[in-house]
Amino acid sequence: MKHQSFEQWLETIGDIDLPIFDQEIQTLLNELERQSEIYWNVPAEVGEFFYKLIVKLRPKRLMEVGTSNGYSAIRMGLALKQNPAIHVDGDAGVGAQESAGKLFTIESHGGRFELAAANIRRAGLTDFVVQIKGHAPEIFHSDENLKVGNFDLLFFDGIKKQHVDFLEQGIGLLKDGGVLIADNVTSHWKDMEAFVRRVEEMGVFEGRTLEIGDGVYVGIKKGGEASL
Ligand SMILES: C[S@@+](CC[C@H](N)C(=O)[O-])C[C@H]1O[C@@H](n2cnc3c(N)ncnc32)[C@H](O)[C@@H]1O
């Protein structure tokens, strides 16, 4: 974080406007929000925070642990879809377009994995959201899409007691300047305290827990300029 403080950086995210989604997308979001207690989804305000963050940062590689029925993945995918595609020169040919970004989202439960697949298809986001069936953190090291690392954003929303493992085994996958996010810090403090302490001990993140939803930790991995 070379040019601005974390708080200034957060303010620039707050300035991003929220979109008006078309009717089909809005209907899907409303439906999923009505089921959020069954599928443990982040609340809408956290979904909106993701939208603003992703529009601001234009991340190319994102990873989520804990897809559930796909609500947070859809919130992130909608932001990726609206980001302009990046024009690339080189092997892909001058003027060729790459997708603006891709979210890799991991889910271990078969039924919720399938439900998320249907919801992500319904949202028209299959080019932006790649589902991975498996168990984190083991899958970080075995899945071809994950083990290459180079992620701009990691979102941990799996079993809270495992967040320290996700952090220790996932930190190497996050680029310098990348963003680490974890849900339920306030609501599950008993289980999340160890995660927050470990983040602080590592000394490589600048961030804090935001008072949105159930308490969302957001930290930037020091050393890069990508996000600032
Ligand atoms: C809180 S819900 C995720 C909610 C989702 N992120 C959202 O806001 O829409 C947690 C999900 O993570 C899955 N999960 C928990 N621990 C996991 C792990 N270690 N690896 C993969 N999935 C996991 C659970 O099966 C559950 O569906």
Q: What is the pLDDT of residues 48-86, one digit of tens each?
A: 999 999 999 999 999 999 999 999 999 999 999 988 776
The CATH number covering residue 205 comes to 3.40.50.150
Work out which ligand 1 atom sits closest to the CA atom of 137. 19
| Ligand 1 probe mutation, 48, 64, 78, 109, most atoms within 8 A of CB | 109
Looking at the domain assignment, is residue 129 inside a domain? Answer: yes
Q: How far is the CA of 160 from the centre of ligand 1 (A)?
A: 9
What DSSP line would sit under 30-46, residue for residue? HHHHHTHHHHTPPPHHH
- Is 227 a member of any domain? no
- Chain segment 83-95, per-residue pLDDT in tens: 877 655 555 455 5
Q: Tell me, what's the pLDDT at 226?
A: 47
Strands, E, within 8-163: which ranges?
61-65, 86-88, 96-98, 102-107, 129-133, 151-156
Q: What is the pLDDT of residues 27-40, one digit of tens each?
A: 999 999 999 999 99
Question: So what's the pLDDT on residue 100?
Answer: 73
Give percent of the chain with pLDDT exceeding 90. 86
DSSP summary character for residue 51: H
Give the number of domains in the chain. 1
- pTM equals 0.93
Question: In the chain, what are the helix, strand and coil shares in percent, each to the nearest 5?
Answer: 45, 20, 35
Sequence letter at residue 56: K
Q: Are 164 and 195 in contact (CB under 8 A)?
A: yes
Q: Which domain holds residue 64?
A: 6-83+96-221
- Residue 193 falls inside a structural domain: yes
Residue 92 Cα distances to 55, 97, 120, 187, angstroms: 24, 8, 27, 46
The answer to whether residue 228 sits within a structural domain is: no
Percentage of residues in the chain with pLDDT exceeding 70? 90
In a domain, 89, yes or no: no
**112 Cα to the center of ligand 1, angstroms:** 9
Q: Strands 151-156 and 61-65, how do they pair?
A: parallel
Structure tokens given for 138? 């083991």
Could you tell me the end-to-end alpha-carbon distance of the chain, in angstroms, rounded to an integer? Answer: 6
Task: Return the pLDDT at 134.
Answer: 98
Q: Is residue 206 part of a domain?
A: yes
CB burial class (10 A; 0-12, 13-18, 19+) of residue 17? exposed
